[in-house]
Amino acid sequence: MIVVFLGPPGCGKGTQASFLNKAFGFYHLSTGDEIRNEIREKTPLGLQIAEPYERGELLSDKIVLEIVEKIIAKHATKSILFDGFPRTLPQAQSLDDVLGKHHLQVDAVISFSVDDDLIVQRVLGRIVCGSCQSVYNTYTNPTKESGVCDHCGSQNFIRRTDDTEDALKTRLDLYKKTIEPVKEYYIKKEKLVNIDASKGAGEVTQSLLMDLNIVEQGE
């Protein structure tokens, strides 16, 4: 199964993607994570994109597609979840072309909607475990024990370098300008489903499972 998650930063895509990965073995393809890895490891590509990315600017389709094509080729036999990609109409069209080479197609597109004020709260409160990459929020989803990761026990927490108010405003503005043609593209293909992401994570998960027609193990 090939699933695409669409939604602004802070809408909860990462939380739901992590659930599908752990519960059903989806390969979680987060272009944001892949880009941050390039920057963190100071690869030639990472050095090229670090400054514009941390300002919240949208990277070129060519750069993003280069990363995506490599990962699809490696994991074509698995269920894949695209988190934060495609962001533009050309990317959506190119994704169909790349998937077609492997006799695959997008099965479902989930669009997460949430108000800007809640997005700001979620993003500015977001922290990530530096050891296992689990994502928490100091306001809406704190760790059970203060300063200790629920999953691995690490006390090494980091904030994403692009999680600042100025960068967030830029990212939200860019998202709104580019995402509507992508939604229209998938609406015409009868692939798009809308989910209210302002609800609690558990409620959003149940809506997601219903829309994807997936039953949790043990039920």
157-158 sheet: strands from edge to edge: 135-137, 126-129, 157-158
How many Cβ atoms sit within 10 Å of the Cβ of residue 1? 16
Q: Is 210 left (phi over 0), alpha (psi -120 to 50) or beta?
A: alpha
**Which residues, in sequence order, are bridge partners of residue 145?**
148
C-alpha angle with apex 60: 59 to 61, nearest 5 degrees?
120
How close are the terminal C-alpha atoms of the chain, in Å?
21
CA gap 96, 82 in Å, rounded: 12
CA gap 139, 10 in Å, rounded: 12
Q: Which two tokens stand for residue 214?
A: 């997936």
Task: Indicate which residues carry an active-site annotation.
Answer: 13, 87, 126, 160, 171
How deeply is 40 buried, as exposed, middle or buried, from its count of CB atoms within 10 A (0-12, 13-18, 19+)? exposed
CA gap 196, 194 in Å, rounded: 7
